[in-house]
Amino acid sequence: MSIKTVLPQFPQFTVHLFKFKNVTNSKEIKQNLIKGDKRYDFSFINAQTVLSEEQLLSAVYRALLDHTQDKIRTKTIHSEVIFSLSPTQNIMDALRRFGIQDDSTDLIVIKIVDSNSQEEFDLSVVEGEEVDITDEDLKSSAILKTIKKNYKLKSEDLTVLSHQIVAAIQLRGL
C-alpha cells in the first residue's frame, strides 16, 4: 500500500509515502498542524494537486537537498516538501494550493525519518481508507484543471504535463 524508499543521494533518510481516500477529519488535521502538534509531523498534501509519484519524489528530493544544505525556508522538512511542490517562491501560496484543506477527502501523507532512527509514527491521526499509491490512482484523484492552473500549463497530454511539472519543481528558483 505505502511506499518506503531511500533516495540514493540521501541514504541517511527514509521516505514513507501514503495515500488515503474518504478522509473525514481533514479540518481537525489542519487545525492540529497549525497548533504545531508533534503527532501531525507529516506532509499532508491535497491529492487533487498531484499527478504522479515522480512529482512527489521530485518535491521530496528538492526538500532534502535544501534541508541538507541548510537552505530550507519553512519550519520543518515536511512543510518544505509541500513548498517544493510549488513552482513559485511564495510559501503561503504553496501551502494553500498543495497542502491539506478543511474539505480534503483524498490525502497524500509523507513522513521523512532519519534512516538510523527507530522513530515510530502513528498514522491513526488520519481517519480514512489507506490505498495503494500508484500513478494510476494519483491520476484518478487529480483535478487536471487545478494542476494546470497551479503550474500555468496548457497541455492536455498527461505525460507532457507530468514532465513539465517535474521540471518546474526541479528548476524553481534557479
Condensed to tens digits (0 to 9), the pLDDT of residues 56-93 reads: 999 999 999 999 999 999 999 999 999 999 988 999 99
Nearest Cα residue to 4 out of 20, 15, 19:
15
CATH number of domain containing 167? 3.30.2380.10
Can you tell me the distance from the alpha carbon of 65 to that of 171, in angstroms, rounded to the nearest whole number?
13
The CA-atom distances, in angstroms, between 16 and each of 6, 92, 114 are 9, 24, 11
Can you tell me the distance from the alpha carbon of 102 to that of 100, in angstroms, rounded to the nearest whole number?
7
Mean pLDDT within 111-140: 92
Q: Is the pLDDT assigned to residue 116 strictly greater than 60?
A: yes
Range of the domain at 100: 3-171
Q: State the pLDDT confidence band at 173, using cuts at 50, 70 and 90.
A: low
The pLDDT value recorded for residue 165 is: 86
Q: Say how many domains are in the chain.
A: 1
Nearest Cα residue to 135 out of 16, 55, 34:
55
The pLDDT value recorded for residue 170 is: 79
The pLDDT value recorded for residue 109 is: 98
Condensed to tens digits (0 to 9), the pLDDT of residues 147-166 reads: 999 988 888 777 788 888 88
pTM: 0.93
